[in-house]
């Protein structure tokens, strides 16, 4: 989509576009889809941002037999997107094996998921948590901590109201530290996240939120 077309889309009322970024790993992208690349995703975000159109990025983590560096490449791409446009919405979902898909075939073949036998069995799948046995607790924790830090470091405009007044002043150093952590890929021992949670709980208990 060139600038002329994007300008027309904006004038017609387009405000946001959902992008299936999927992964920051070029190897994994070629395996699951040959329709995009990391550079295509970044260029799309830049073009949309120039025209005041926001982006929603959807990523898939915890793919069966994914390259060893797939998660790190995905986190890098999500962060790069936020640095281009802080209002980009980033969603990291754990791979959910759906029947008939290549993901499902691979997961069952490798013993990473038990094929559901009843309708109720499908209720155990949830894209907000790991669905495959091969996903370690450390992997899942890294994803959760990254999401907490990126939302704190690069809050969207709709979230900025949370950081007004006293809460804004109190959390500003934490937001700076969150950017430091993201740049250095250091997500362990999230003491500041716990401190922020405690601060918010105290404010709610006092009836000030």
Number of H helices and E strands in the chain, helices first, is 8, 3
User: Is 3 a residue whose pLDDT tops 50?
Assistant: yes
Q: Phi and psi (nearest 5°) for 96?
A: -115, 115
Question: Which of residues 119 and 72 earns the better pLDDT score?
Answer: 72
Burial of 135 (0-12, 13-18, 19+ CB in 10 A): buried
**What angle is formed at CA 182 by the lines to CA 171 and CA 150, rounded to 5 degrees?**
60
**61: β partners:** 94
Structure tokens that stand for 107 in this block? 């997961």
Average pLDDT, the chain: 87
Taking only the tens place, the pLDDT of each residue in 127-169 is: 888 988 889 999 999 999 999 999 989 988 765 555 555 456 6
> Which residue has 């959910």 as its token pair?
96
Taking the C-alpha atoms of residue 102 and residue 40, their distance in angstroms, rounded to an integer, is 24
pLDDT digits (tens, 9 = 90+) for 81-128: 999 999 999 999 999 888 788 888 888 888 888 888 888 887 888 888
**Distance, CA of 5 to CA of 18 (rounded, Å):** 17
Q: What is the pLDDT of residue 117?
A: 85
pLDDT number for residue 98: 82
Confidence of residue 4 (pLDDT cuts 50, 70, 90): very high
pTM here is 0.85
Identify the pLDDT of residue 123.
81
- Residues 35-50 have pLDDT tens digits of 889 999 999 999 999 9
């Amino acid at each position: 989509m060139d600038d002329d077309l994007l300008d027309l889309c904006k004038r017609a009322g387009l405000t946001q576009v959902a992008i299936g970024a999927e992964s920051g790993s070029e190897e994994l992208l070629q395996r699951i889809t040959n329709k995009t690349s990391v550079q295509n995703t970044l260029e799309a975000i830049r073009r949309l941002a120039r025209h005041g159109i926001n982006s929603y990025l959807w990523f898939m983590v915890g793919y069966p037999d994914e390259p060893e560096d797939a998660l790190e490449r995905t986190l890098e791409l999500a962060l790069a997107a936020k640095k281009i446009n802080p209002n980009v919405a980033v969603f990291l979902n754990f791979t959910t094996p759906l029947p008939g898909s290549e993901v499902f075939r691979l997961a069952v073949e490798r013993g990473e998921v038990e094929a559901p036998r009843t309708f109720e069995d499908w209720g155990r799948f949830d894209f907000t948590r790991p669905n495959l046995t091969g996903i370690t607790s450390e992997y899942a924790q890294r994803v959760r901590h990254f999401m907490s830090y990126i939302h704190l470091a690069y809050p969207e405009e709709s979230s900025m109201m949370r950081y007004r007044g006293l809460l804004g002043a109190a959390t500003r150093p934490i937001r700076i530290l969150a950017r430091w952590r993201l740049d250095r890929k250091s997500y362990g021992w999230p003491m500041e996240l716990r401190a922020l949670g405690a601060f918010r709980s105290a404010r709610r208990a006092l009836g000030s939120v």
